């Protein structure tokens, strides 16, 4: 059941301070500063951010009821789902959250709420790949791409998310065959991050790669990487029976939040159209509230229809996805 929060609650083990909220974040505080500053200016509530590059769930479990964290902020459905499965979140509901976060972008039980999305797309050489040559994810297993694909590790959460989505659409047997086909089309062993794949296209090592949309914006910001970015087109493949795979930045309230009322206020603020557009602009992502728009730089990459499967349903296939990646020795 949802817990509708209307009054401040306190825990004896972790006394609340009236005008603060504590956030554990996978993103650096400076990336969140436009949001946290705007929230404090609007509400007078101070935001304390602890940057945790890894081990967030383990830390929350170790701290237990004495944890100072009110909210967790992360950039991948796998991490949000892991927090729910570990029992370190609590369900939350409010009219503002439901108005601003479409159903496929929040946990059906209210344990996490999405804020912005990024698409998992194909970067394709402008010189060696026609703009309409890649239309589906399924097509990446076609032998025509033999020796032409670069990608990061199959065990990375971004790859696991896409494989899990493929299972959700087609089942394990199909996905295993698809993974084997993609592996046979690789130009090199999986390595590096998404930007490294674009660099490899620029260098002529491969013709297409998988990557998140926001990396295009990040590369255009970097003088050294602008040439890489300008060597590729952004293509939006779809599942044959669905849309383009997306992932999210999202927020969840911790199970032991000592500042629940302030935490709810911040969740509602983060989900507001104003805050979504602020954060999406800062990180080259897509706001999801009705009536919001991405910045011009992001819109220039093209339009797409996001896959409408609920991300929590896709996250449920993570274990199967990892097993398939290891079974086909994708990184080998």
- CATH 3.40.190.10 boundaries in the chain: 20-117+246-294, 118-245+307-327
Q: For the whole model, what pTM was predicted?
A: 0.88
**pLDDT at residue 131 in the model:** 82
The full 3-state SS of the chain, as one line of letters, equals: CCCECCCCCCECCECCCCCEEEEEECCCHHHHHHHHHHHHHHHCCEEEEEECCCCHHHHHHHHHHHCCCCEEEECCHHHHHHHHHCCCEECCECHHHHHHCCHHHECCCCCCEEEEEEEEEEEEECCCCCCCCCCECHHHHCHHHCCCEECCCCCCHHHHHHHHHHHHHHCHHHHHHHHHHHHHCECCCCCCCHHHHHHHHHCCCCCEEEEECHHHHHHHHCCCCHHHHCCEEEECCECCCCCECEEEEEEEEECCCCCHHHHHHHHHHHHCHHHHHHHHHHHCCEECCCCCCCCHHHHCCCCCCECCCCHHHHHCCHHHHHHHHHHCCCCC
pLDDT in tens, the chain (332 residues): 344 333 333 333 344 445 999 999 998 888 889 899 999 999 999 999 999 988 999 999 999 999 999 999 998 899 999 999 999 999 999 999 999 999 999 999 999 999 999 999 999 999 999 988 999 999 999 999 999 999 999 999 999 999 999 999 999 999 999 999 999 999 999 999 999 999 999 999 999 999 999 999 999 999 999 999 999 999 999 999 999 999 999 999 999 999 999 999 999 999 999 999 999 999 999 999 999 999 999 999 999 999 999 898 999 999 999 999 999 999 99
The CATH number given to 20-117+246-294 is 3.40.190.10
Looking at domain 118-245+307-327, its CATH superfamily turns out to be: Periplasmic binding protein-like II (3.40.190.10)
């Amino acid at each position: 059941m949802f817990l509708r929060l209307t009054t401040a609650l306190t825990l004896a083990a972790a006394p609340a301070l009236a005008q603060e909220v504590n956030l554990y974040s996978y993103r650096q505080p400076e990336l969140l500063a436009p949001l946290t500053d705007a929230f404090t200016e609007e509400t007078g509530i101070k935001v304390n951010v602890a940057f945790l590059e890894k081990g967030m769930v383990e830390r929350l479990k170790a701290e237990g009821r004495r944890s100072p964290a009110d909210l967790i902020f992360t950039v991948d459905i796998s991490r949000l789902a892991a927090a729910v499965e570990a029992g370190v979140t609590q369900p939350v509901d409010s009219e503002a959250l439901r108005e601003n976060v479409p159903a496929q972008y929040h946990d059906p039980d209210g344990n996490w709420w999405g804020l912005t999305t990024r698409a998992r797309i194909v970067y394709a050489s402008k010189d060696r790949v026609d703009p309409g040559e890649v239309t589906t994810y399924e097509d990446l297993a076609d032998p025509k791409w033999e020796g032409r694909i670069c990608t990061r590790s199959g065990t990375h959460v971004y790859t696991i998310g896409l494989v899990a989505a493929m299972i959700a659409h087609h089942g394990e047997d199909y996905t295993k065959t698809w993974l084997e086909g993609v592996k046979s089309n690789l130009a090199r062993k999986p390595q590096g991050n998404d930007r490294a794949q674009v660099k490899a296209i620029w260098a002529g090592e491969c013709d297409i790669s998988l990557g998140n949309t926001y990396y295009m914006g990040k590369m255009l910001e970097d003088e050294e990487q602008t040439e890489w970015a300008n060597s590729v087109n952004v293509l939006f493949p779809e599942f044959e029976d669905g849309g383009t795979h997306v992932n999210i930045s999202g927020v969840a309230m911790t199970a032991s939040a000592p500042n629940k009322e302030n935490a709810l206020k911040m969740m509602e603020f983060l989900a507001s159209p104003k805050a979504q557009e602020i954060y999406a602009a800062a990180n080259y992502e897509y706001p999801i509230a009705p009536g919001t728009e991405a910045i011009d730089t992001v819109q220039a990459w093209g339009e797409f229809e996001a896959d409408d499967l609920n991300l929590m349903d896709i996250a449920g296939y993570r274990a199967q996805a990892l097993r398939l990646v290891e079974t086909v020795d994708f990184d080998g």
